[in-house]
Structure 1
Amino acid sequence: MKTTRFDTREHILTTGEQLCVQRGFHAMGLIELLKVAGVPKGSFYHYFASKEAFGVAMLERYFAHYHQQLRGYLDDHQGDQRQRVLDYYHQSLQTFCQESSFAGCLSVKLSAEVCDLSEPMRIALDAGSKAIIATLTSALQKAQQQQTLQRVSNAEDVAQNIYMLWLGASLLSKISRDVRPLENAWQQINLMLPAPL
């Protein structure tokens, strides 16, 4: 069966993401990527002008999937948006515990590695993070409209703090090979999103 242009590009991106989560962006060589993906060198350069352009496309794809998953989860339930946000992070914690994987997500893996070395990749990370924070902000604003969340002065600040807390806890769990930082983050998120009195 012949693969389409999209299939080949997607396959390279998927393979690259898996390798980057394991090794990091700079440690992943193009020869290794092409060998694991089973595609010729010409195919890579047909889709991506450089390794950096590949990195940008990989991050954009990663955040698009992450954002779609988060929005789908929050939009799937028309009830209590506060509880839905809490459920999302609780589910993320449970998934992390079940998989016993400290490899971490792509944004955790690459944030410190590429931000000082690649401005296009830093911009992709920034844009992806801002989209997640905007979706969380919208959910918190809905929760306030529903009166399921105590009034906060700035929903965007709270959403940013939740994202920063989870990102930092994910990194610390990776460093320590211990789930406790994420468990502590989950408890703090609960405190940050109090139900009305």
Structure 2
Amino acid sequence: MSDLSEEMRTILLDGTAQVTARLAEAIEAGIADGSLRISDDPSPLATQQYQMWLGASLMAKVTKGDTPLQTAMEVTKRQLL
């Protein structure tokens, strides 16, 4: 869709930035309250997490299975816990 419309691409880009910013804030809050013990910078980590889950959700549809989502969850646990 974003390949066909510059306006749609801009809207999707803005939405993605909002999601990753909120995720980064959640990671920062977890670091601050001690529930997350990670040393990675929250912003790039949030972007990586979002992109991984986006890809996993696409692959789950392609494969008609939940293995990509399970794999994403395992990676998330290793990165965040």
Q: Same fold (TM over 0.5)?
A: yes
1:172 counterpart SS class: helix
Which residue, 153, 161, 166 being the options, matches 2:48? 161
Structure 1 partner of 2:16: 129
Shift of 1:147: 1.4
Counterpart of 1:141, as a letter, is E
Identity within the alignment, %:
31
Q: Which ranges of structure 2 fall in alignment gaps of 5 or more residues? A: none
In the TM superposition, 1:1-197 aligns within 5 A as 114-194=1-81
Mapped partners of 1:164, 1:152: distance in 2: 20
1:125 counterpart SS class: helix
Contact 2:27/2:36, CA 8 A, preserved across alignment: yes
**Cα deviation digits, residues 17-59 of structure 1 (max 9, x gap):** xxxxxxxxxxxxxxxxxxxxxxxxxxxxxxxxxxxxxxxxxxx
Contact 2:38/2:80, CA 8 A, preserved across alignment: no
Q: Which ranges of structure 1 fall in alignment gaps of 5 or more residues? A: 1-113
Mapped partners of 1:152, 1:168: distance in 2: 25
Moved over 4 A (4+): none
Counterpart of 2:15, as a letter, is G
TM-score by length of 1: 0.40
Shift of 1:152: 2.2
Contact 2:60/2:67, CA 8 A, preserved across alignment: yes
Equivalent pairs, count: 81
Mapped partners of 1:159, 1:135: distance in 2: 9
TM-score by length of 2: 0.94
Instruction: Please identify the structure whose Cα radius of gyration is greater.
Output: 1
